[in-house]
Chains A and B, each alone.
Chain A
Amino acid sequence: MLPFRVIFPTALLLAAAACSTDSSLNPADATPSRAFGIWKPGAAESCTQEQHDAYAVVGPDGKLYPSWHPPTGPGGCSFGHEHGRDPRGSALYDDAGGLPFGVANEALAIGDPGNPRDEDHVGHKVEWENGIDLQFSGPGSALFTGKCDVLTKLHQGTHSKDAFTNNLHELVYHIECSDGTEMHVTMMTAIGTPGEFVRSCDHSVHISAGTPTPVNSPDGGGFRAIPDRTCIEQFLLVPPGEQSNYFQALHETWETSNSVRREDGHTLAFFNPYFQVRLPSRFHDPAIAPTVGRPIDACYEVTASGERASGGACRESTEDGAVTGVTFDHPSSSFDGAGHFVDVNANQLSNEDGPEVWYTDAFGRHGKPTSFPGSIRQRLARMDNQIGVDAGGPVIGDNRNYSGPGVHAPN
């Protein structure tokens, strides 16, 4: 069940067989999914594409998907990117079926062939924790307790202009709690409004950034808070003697709001994890084509009034300015988006009448007990239990940084 490496391309399908979640599937017959094989090594990467593509699993639809791999491959070669925490330690790894990347994108392309949503490979970020304590606020803090295992994956690209306009991102969410709450959901989550994002240092400011892909992207709850040039000018470029505030200047929060719904609109499950990234490698700058500013470039900036970046990641990346010309995709830049973590938040079920298995479209809608073209299999415990009374999941992954040898933007 564990993804493993094979060096020779001819062994690739055997590796996939070992990763398959369905032993009846013949990996030789497994059709590559849209997400499979799209990563190509850049000049800085020492691993081959074949080495990379050996980390593959057969998904629930019988197609071959990429999956988690470490930042380094055979012999210590570098892939240049990371996917977060190794999911094999999660208590829910078996439920995740090897954690294929791109199942929801694939389903969307089948369900709505004219409006696909493909995402790059490096943006898939995994986070998990076993035995987390749910946190209750208000009166629930004195009354309730609960432990959960959580395994989640969001495609959260923080290196390109993609998320300026595009609100559709693949989300995989597995949770199992001591009270019986259990969800195993894969979907395209609509995060906020398509075509716009909110300014990370002032969430009240909505910035229109262009036309989304696909153009019929639905509105979603929550928002994508992304830094823009204003945040850089206010919090990174500071007067002499002051320290830059990197949290305000360069911190992304994608607050999701997800539901799995029955055909009749009834909400079977609701969950709203927030996905945060420290020090992304991009910010929105409409003055630059194609609107992507690079924090490392801002490290070298000095404004007319003498304001400049001070301390923190700029100092680390440039050795306090001694090293010039560090590019956004150089491994020595601290702005690689590898510091990502998740707020678990609420988990609510309204599925007492069952069944446990539902098939929904790519957006978690139109749930039916039987599969249909472009559907995704979702598993929900048969129960009504809105864990809540302001239940908050704890933050998971906050104490970790996934930057490893050779990791650099785009990551």
Chain B
Amino acid sequence: MFARLLVTCALVGFGAVAPSPAVAQDATTLHGAWFGGGIGTASAQVNCELCINDRNGGLSGYLAGGLRLNAGLHAGAELAGWFDNTDDVSQRLLLYGASLWWHPRPGQNWFLKGGLGLLKYRAATDDDDDDPLTAGTAAIQLGGGYDLRAGRKLWVSPFANLIVTTSGNMTSGNTVVTDASFSMLQLGAGVTWR
């Protein structure tokens, strides 16, 4: 609920400062460095033989920065996350990734995104006696979005991303749960300075 509220506020806020669509040509003629961040919600799932396999909603966001490779292609490093606290167990997914943002059609504002990275998972309680449950697996990210111009160098971009991982081990103390994988569907809005 909190995450939804944040997204709604963000979208309304961005809408207020950026009522006019960006001109795609502008979006593809800028050069140099860029950075940005976004916030939203994500539905995440932990998959394993023993797992309940419920999807779990939570607050999500990202920070990213990089360089323009050419007129339609941005490259960057990204830190994306998802956070949830249910039944006194806090969970988080953090993606340390490298991604490409591609505007396939100059003149239009939508873009596609793809990337690779390492997804780190952690679940813990407030009890110091409980070993946290952790995992780290390779991840692939696919997504897209739409750029809206909000200022001379400022862009607002609703986005959607899907992050899925390979299978790996989840560990807690000496215990190992094998063949665990993760997925995260992220929806939100980002702000980019370039």
Contacts and interface: CB of A to CB of B under 8 A. Distances in A.
Given A385-B178, A389-B175, A390-B172, A139 B124 contact: yes
Interface in A366-408: 384-390
A327 interface: no
A389 B49 CA distance: 13
Contacts of B26: none
Contacts of A389: 133, 170, 172, 175, 177
Contacts, number: 71
A388 B178 contact: no
B51 interface: yes
Given A138-B172, A389-B177, A390-B172, A145 B52 contact: yes
Contact of A142 (B86, B174, B175, B177): B86
A180 B133 contact: no
A247 interface: no
A138 B127 contact: yes
> Contact size class for B?
20 to 34
A387 B177 CA distance: 7
Given A138-B131, A139-B130, A142-B87, 18 more contacts: A137-B130, A139-B125, A139-B132, A141-B87, A142-B52, A142-B89, A143-B123, A143-B133, A144-B50, A144-B51, A145-B51, A146-B50, A179-B50, A385-B49, A387-B50, A389-B170, A389-B172, A389-B175
Contacts of B51: 143-145
Interface in B94-135: 123-125, 127, 130-133
A140 interface: yes
Contacts of A144: 48, 50-52, 177
Contact of A384 (B91, B132, B170, B178): B178
A97 to B, nearest CB: 28
B46 interface: yes
Interface of A: 134, 137-146, 178-180, 348, 384-390
A191 B51 CA distance: 33
B176 interface: yes
A34 B48 CA distance: 46
24 contacts: A138-B127, A138-B131, A139-B124, A139-B130, A139-B132, A139-B133, A139-B172, A140-B133, A140-B172, A141-B87, A142-B91, A143-B50, A143-B52, A143-B89, A143-B123, A144-B48, A145-B52, A146-B50, A386-B174, A386-B176, A386-B177, A388-B175, A389-B133, A390-B130
Nearest to B50: A144
